[in-house]
Amino acid sequence: MSNVLVVFYSRRGKTEKLALAAGVGAIQARANIRLRRLPDLASAETILRDAEWNENLERMTKDYIAPREIDAEWAQVVILAAPHDCTAEMERYLESARLEGKTGAVLGVFGGAAEKAGLKIVAGKHTTGDPAIACAYGRQAAGGMLS
């Protein structure tokens, strides 16, 4: 049984759904999972100007904590998800996290940054917004099928 850390960044909930689907796939592969949401880099004023973002942020702040160093140590597999137009939060995480040599799965367009962080990426960097594909990718990643 593998330990899978799902790290995501979401503003309005769409990428959160993909991360949850990937986590379900990992559970289907009999993995233990931890879900962690990256904190926003935007200012509070920017977030307040977007009602949907602000509402979802309040909910997600209650539902998730930020990834911690101990989470990366615990995990053998790391699934990463971020929207195509909001990769700064994920790139910042990848610069600071200790992920060298772990299996990784990327739901987004930051595969190069994930590889630079030392992750061994599972075949097929999936950038689609389809939860069914994210679920299958999470199952594949937890199963350890490397490219």
Alpha carbon distance 109, 34 (integer Å): 22
CATH of span 3-142 = 3.40.50.360
Taking only the tens place, the pLDDT of each residue in 1-48 is 899 999 999 999 999 999 999 999 999 999 999 999 999 999 999 999
At 92 the pLDDT is: 95
Angle CA 70–92–66, to nearest 5: 40
- Within 10 angstroms of residue 56's Cβ, the number of other Cβ atoms is 18
Residues 59, 37: contact at Cβ < 8 Å? no
**Three-state SS annotation for the chain:** CCEEEEEECCCCCHHHHHHHHHHHHHHHCCCEEEEEECCCCCCHHHHHCCHHHHHHHHHHHHHCECCCHHHHHHCCEEEEECCCCCCHHHHHHHHHCCCCCCEEEEECCCHHHHHHCCCEEECCCECCCCHHHHHHHHHHHHCCCEC
Does the structure show a pLDDT above 70 at 105? yes
Q: Give the mean model confidence (pLDDT) for residues 79-100.
A: 94
Span 107-131, average pLDDT: 86
Distance of CA 63 to the CA centre of its chain: 15
To the nearest whole number, what is the mean pLDDT of the chain? 92
- At 87, the amino acid letter reads T
